[in-house]
């Protein structure tokens, strides 16, 4: 699979987790957030789903992550129950019991087994869940489940996000159509390593849990794992993918698996761009495209080092073509590269070649850097592997948001 | 050697690179910096010195770093010639030639061989050195060399630093005294990995280059390598240590080596604290003390992860006791720890224990966090090794400085 390729066989459509047939969702205010915004979300599948997940590699992980990773991959998942405003992380034994209670109360409201309910939490670390508030809000939440309310689901999972993030594609195999749709949240504490904050993806294609698991891991590795806002890997990250088979499209042949993987990549890549663009304090989205690497791992190392460099990101905020900070980050990334052959382009303008500065029009580049999307192309001059990292610039508002975000 | 121990046998004194006998220095304005501030510094030893250095691990390193690492360890060093305002990094073949020319013009002015001159550069990456300006300023610079002008040396090596950073100790072995004095610069692009920005240390003790090299590496590993301002490892980092033997104190016996190492640690540790306190945009210095680790490497991993966490540092800027971000950083650090036994203290106040929040007086802790020095104590509950990391908080001004710093 080539990165960024969108085959003619599928098209990007609007919609999120309820775009695929057979999924309903909703989001309500339960009073978990002090702001009074929506904070409780529920996704329901009429049919049992194949489900796979990828999870944070942080050694301290929330009990919701444990709950899901214990259950997955599975062929009997019916629902995802998610709250924002409280991460239920670093909450010990009581936190673990609370996660199980979350699954239980949602299961009772939906008339399914608790093992059919995946649970996710996001928000402040070190606080206990207000379970009574959540229980009180469940009747109105389960009563509101609909296709239309998929957008309420996407809204209720937000924390410091400014906009909801949805993405969907429609694809066809053998003349029959299926849909992959998803949503995610994430704005700070974004530096996923195996998975990012919360992303929920649904499809009406039919695929075995094992195949879904394998493809999900591969796609997440190419998308969410190359995304960073601030270099901090969260305790609660997870990407969950549910496939209910409602379209009747079976993902079994090599060709079908390839189309499905491409479609899933498109949705995940698009969600990554949306997280980067809405990164805490971001004024622009930044895409770092590394080519000429010996291995994909090396390409990722270099791309992520640049994406994580505070200095580079402050320069981008200031529209300053400070490519020295980019080459510096590649230098400490640990990726193999050829000093002599390495090249750097900023907004398409060559700035570094043959280990020397390339003269450029500073005014023109300064203006190009003011765009909403900045592209940095780095050729390591050493091989044929590539990778793309997603991030944003680093502004006063990142500091403001995180100095004032109350524990 | 225990960390932070100051044996009765030596005392901290004022002064910098010219405090040890037999060293003279100076600093002048050569017009390299656009601000018109001092930007050219020279240190001279009357006697040939044992010299050792530790250097950046960034794969892209400045030719000044290559020049010094090719020469060291050595027993014939006479001078350090340093400019600020231009890093002479990413400048290819011409940059390499310029570094050699720098050594040559200083050697001519001092009447020594060019191989006796160590060269250092700091400032913007990707610009060529204005050698003519430097050459023109050399007569007044070499004419100004004196013990008193050690402080001019410390001033002329600064870039975004707000204050000059000096440290010195006086120690005695067998009733005979010697001095170790040093200075350094560094405020941004500080995340040393084997060495930090620029630090120059002199001593009048007599020690072989091999012994000095070994001790310098060990001490730098315990001090500068545990220092971070922004997570970016520079292309130009180096710590240089010169020993001219002028005191007549010989560092040979195990006891003498131990005293010397302790004295050098005290100077380097103090310089680290000074860099952290003057980190770009810093409003306070932060010390992260990790104990209970299985290995020192693990202790360092955990301490550096917390020190590098943007989220933790923004919370500290906001005086917010957001310990969840600290435990999160330990979690992704890769260090082995016991979830059950790990404890976190913020300004001496327990906040996390038994994988659960410890209730604390939020107002009181908020006030404690406003101090100029914040201490974070983390016990990993797993072993007996420890480490200390030095950093600062993360403020609007860090972003301002790095968005506006012109390339």
Are residues B211 and B66 located together in one domain of the fold? yes
B57 versus B144: the higher-pLDDT residue is B144
- Residue of B54, B122, B159, B196 marked catalytic: B196
Is B96 contained in some domain?
A: yes
**A312: nearest CA partner in chain B:** B402
Q: Is B196 a catalytic residue?
A: yes
CB contact under 8 A, A328 and B399: no
Pair B275, B299: CB distance under 8 Å: no
Least confident window among B55-64, B84-93, B145-154: B55-64
Is A1 contained in some domain?
A: no
Residue ranges of chain A whose pLDDT lies below 70: 1-9, 189-197, 405-407
**Of B331, B315, B309, B322, the residue nearest B380 (C-alpha):** B331
**Of B394, B398, B401, the residue nearest B318 (C-alpha):** B394
Is B198 contained in some domain?
A: yes
In the prediction, which pLDDT does B222 show?
A: 81
Q: pLDDT (tens digit, 9 = 90+) per residue, B9-30? A: 678 899 999 999 999 999 999 9
CB contact under 8 A, A235 and B328: yes
Q: Report the distance separating Cα B227 and Cα B219, nearest Å.
A: 13
CB contact under 8 A, B310 and A126: no
In the prediction, which pLDDT does B195 show?
A: 42
Are residues A197 and A336 located together in one domain of the fold? no
Is A3 contained in some domain?
A: no
HEC secondary structure over B261-329:
HHHHHHHHHHHHHHHHHCCCCCCCEEEEEEEEECCHHHHHHHHHHHHHCHHHHHHHHCCCCCHHHHHHH
Range of the domain at B342: 285-404
First to last CA, chain B: 43
Helix H segments across B111-246? 131-143, 150-156, 209-222
Q: Report the distance separating Cα B142 and Cα B144, nearest Å.
A: 5
- Our measurement of the distance from residue B314's CA atom to the centroid of its chain's CA atoms, rounded to an integer in Å, reads 23
**Of A126, A190, A402, the residue nearest B344 (C-alpha):** A126
In the prediction, which pLDDT does B4 show?
A: 44
Would you state the structure tokens that stand for residue B349, as one six-digit string? Answer: 């106040």
Are residues A253 and A168 located together in one domain of the fold? yes
Residues of A in contact with B89 (CB under 8 A): 324, 328
User: For an interface test with A, which of B55, B58, B59 has the most A Cβ atoms less than 10 Å from its Cβ?
Assistant: B59
| Mean of per-residue pLDDT scores for chain B | 89
**B280: nearest CA partner in chain A:** A311
In the prediction, which pLDDT does B7 show?
A: 53
**Of B155, B104, B94, the residue nearest B134 (C-alpha):** B104
CB contact under 8 A, A325 and B125: yes
Asked whether residue B189 carries a pLDDT value surpassing 70, the answer given is no
Distance between A50 CA and the closest CA of chain B, angstroms: 30
Pair A244, A47: CB distance under 8 Å: yes
Q: Report the distance separating Cα B278 and Cα B266, nearest Å.
A: 18
Q: pLDDT (tens digit, 9 = 90+) per residue, A112-161? A: 999 999 999 998 888 899 999 999 999 999 999 999 999 999 999 998 88
Is B1 contained in some domain?
A: no
CB contact under 8 A, B232 and A329: yes
In the prediction, which pLDDT does A2 show?
A: 40
What are the phi and psi torsion angles at A103 (to 5°)? Answer: -60, -40
DSSP state of B335: -
Are residues B259 and B302 located together in one domain of the fold? no
Asked whether residue B261 carries a pLDDT value surpassing 80, the answer given is yes
Domain total in chain A:
2
In the prediction, which pLDDT does A229 show?
A: 73
Could you identify the residue written with the tokens 């937000």? A158
Distance between B177 CA and the closest CA of chain A, angstroms: 41
Count of residues for chain A? 407
**A233: nearest CA partner in chain B:** B332
- Residue of A56, A99, A122, A196 marked catalytic: A196
CB contact under 8 A, B396 and A398: no
Are residues B249 and B123 located together in one domain of the fold? yes
**Residue A316: strand, helix, or coil:** helix
Would you state the structure tokens that stand for residue A7, as one six-digit string? Answer: 């085959």
What are the phi and psi torsion angles at B94 (to 5°)? Answer: -65, -40
CATH code of the domain covering residue B337: 3.10.20.340
Pair B378, B306: CB distance under 8 Å: yes
What are the phi and psi torsion angles at A230 (to 5°)? Answer: -135, 5
Beta bridge partners of B382: none
**Residue B11: strand, helix, or coil:** strand
Pair B368, B255: CB distance under 8 Å: no
CB contact under 8 A, A403 and B315: yes
Are residues A240 and A109 located together in one domain of the fold? yes
DSSP state of B244: -
User: For an interface test with A, which of B65, B316, B341, B403 has the most A Cβ atoms less than 10 Å from its Cβ?
Assistant: B403
Pair B34, B18: CB distance under 8 Å: no
Would you state the structure tokens that stand for residue A112, as one six-digit string? Answer: 């399914």
How, if at all, do strands B165-173 and B373-379 pair?
unpaired
Are residues A270 and A384 located together in one domain of the fold? no
Are residues B358 and B241 located together in one domain of the fold? no
**What is this model's ipTM?**
0.78
Is B5 contained in some domain?
A: no
Q: Given A254, A277, A300, which residue is the final one in a domain? A: A277
Q: Given B277, B307, B326, which residue is the final one in a domain? A: B277
Would you state the structure tokens that stand for residue B45, as one six-digit string? Answer: 């030893």
Count of residues for chain B? 407
DSSP state of B227: B
Pair B158, B85: CB distance under 8 Å: no
Distance between B18 CA and the closest CA of chain A, angstroms: 33
Are residues B205 and B59 located together in one domain of the fold? yes
CB contact under 8 A, A355 and B90: yes
Q: Given A237, A261, A277, which residue is the final one in a domain? A: A277
Are residues B272 and B298 located together in one domain of the fold? no
Are residues B238 and B268 located together in one domain of the fold? yes
Question: Percentage of chain A surpassing pLDDT 90?
Answer: 55
Which residue among A59, A126, A323 sits closest to B331, beta carbon to beta carbon? Answer: A59
Q: Report the distance separating Cα B372 and Cα A151, nearest Å.
A: 46
Asked whether residue B1 carries a pLDDT value surpassing 70, the answer given is no
In the prediction, which pLDDT does A195 show?
A: 41
Would you state the structure tokens that stand for residue B175, as one six-digit string? Answer: 């009733």
Helix H segments across A74-233? 92-110, 131-143, 150-156, 209-222
Q: Report the distance separating Cα A70 and Cα A67, nearest Å.
A: 5
**A407: nearest CA partner in chain B:** B322
Are residues B316 and B342 located together in one domain of the fold? yes
Could you identify the residue written with the tokens 């524990």? A407
Q: Report the distance separating Cα B192 and Cα B214, nearest Å.
A: 18
**Surface of B (209-248) touching A: CB under 8 A:** 230-235
Q: Report the distance separating Cα B235 and Cα A324, nearest Å.
A: 9
CB contact under 8 A, B310 and A311: no
Residues of B in contact with A402 (CB under 8 A): 310-311, 314-315, 318
Residues contacting residue B217 through CB under 8 Å, at least 6 positions apart: B52, B54
Q: Report the distance separating Cα A73 and Cα A63, nearest Å.
A: 17
Which helix (H) or strand (E) segment holds residue A117: the answer is strand A117-124
DSSP state of A207: -
pTM over 0.95: no
**A127: nearest CA partner in chain B:** B357
If you average pLDDT over residues B175-192, what whole number do you get?
82
Sheet strands (E) in A221-348:
238-243, 285-293, 343-346
CB contact under 8 A, A339 and B58: no
**Residue A74: strand, helix, or coil:** strand
CB pairs under 8 A between A and B: 213
- Quickly count: other Cβ atoms within 10 Å of residue B401's Cβ: 18
Is A124 contained in some domain?
A: yes
Could you identify the residue written with the tokens 């978990």? A32
Distance between B228 CA and the closest CA of chain A, angstroms: 12
Is A25 contained in some domain?
A: yes
Number of helical H runs and strand E runs in chain B = 11, 15
How, if at all, do strands A285-293 and A385-392 pair?
antiparallel
Q: pLDDT (tens digit, 9 = 90+) per residue, B226-235? A: 777 777 777 7
CATH code of the domain covering residue B102: 3.60.70.12
């Amino acid at each position: 699979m080539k990165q960024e390729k969108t085959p003619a066989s599928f098209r990007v459509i609007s919609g999120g987790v309820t775009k695929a047939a057979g999924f309903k969702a909703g989001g309500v205010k339960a009073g978990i957030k002090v702001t009074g915004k929506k904070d409780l979300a529920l996704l329901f599948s009429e049919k049992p789903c194949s489900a796979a997940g990828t999870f944070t590699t942080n050694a301290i992980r929330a009990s919701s992550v444990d709950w899901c990773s214990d259950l997955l991959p599975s062929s009997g998942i019916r629902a995802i129950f998610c709250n924002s405003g409280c991460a239920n992380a670093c909450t010990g034994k009581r936190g673990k019991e609370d996660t199980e209670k979350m699954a239980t109360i949602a299961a009772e409201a939906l008339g399914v087994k608790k093992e059919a309910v995946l649970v996710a939490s996001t928000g402040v670390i070190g606080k206990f869940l207000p379970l009574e508030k959540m229980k009180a809000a469940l009747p109105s939440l389960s009563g509101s489940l609909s296709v239309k309310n998929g957008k309420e689901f996407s809204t209720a999972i937000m924390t410091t996000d400014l906009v909801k993030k949805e993405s969907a594609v429609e694809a066809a195999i053998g003349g029959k159509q299926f849909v992959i749709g998803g949503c995610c949240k994430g704005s700070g504490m974004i530096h996923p390593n195996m998975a990012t904050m919360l992303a929920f993806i649904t499809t009406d294609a039919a695929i075995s849990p094992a195949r879904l698991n394998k493809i999900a891991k591969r796609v997440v590795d190419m998308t969410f794992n190359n995304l960073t806002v601030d270099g901090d890997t969260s305790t609660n990250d997870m990407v969950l993918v549910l496939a209910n088979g409602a379209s009747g499209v079976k993902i079994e042949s090599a060709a079908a698996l390839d189309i499905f993987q491409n479609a899933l990549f498109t949705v995940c890549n698009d969600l990554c761009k949306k997280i980067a663009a809405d990164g805490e304090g971001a004024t622009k989205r930044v895409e770092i495209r590394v080519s000429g690497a010996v291995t994909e791992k090396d390409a990722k190392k270099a791309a992520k080092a640049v994406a994580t460099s505070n200095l580079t990101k402050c320069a981008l905020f200031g529209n300053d073509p400070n490519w020295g900070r980019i080459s510096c980050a590649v230098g400490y990334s640990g990726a193999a590269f050829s000093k002599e052959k390495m090249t750097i382009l900023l907004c398409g303008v060559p700035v570094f070649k043959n280990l020397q500065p390339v003269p450029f029009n500073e005014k023109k580049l300064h203006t190009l850097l003011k765009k909403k999307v900045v592209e940095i192309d780095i050729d390591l001059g050493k091989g044929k592997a590539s990778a793309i990292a997603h991030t944003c610039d680093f502004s006063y508002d990142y500091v403001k948001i995180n100095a004032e975000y109350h524990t």
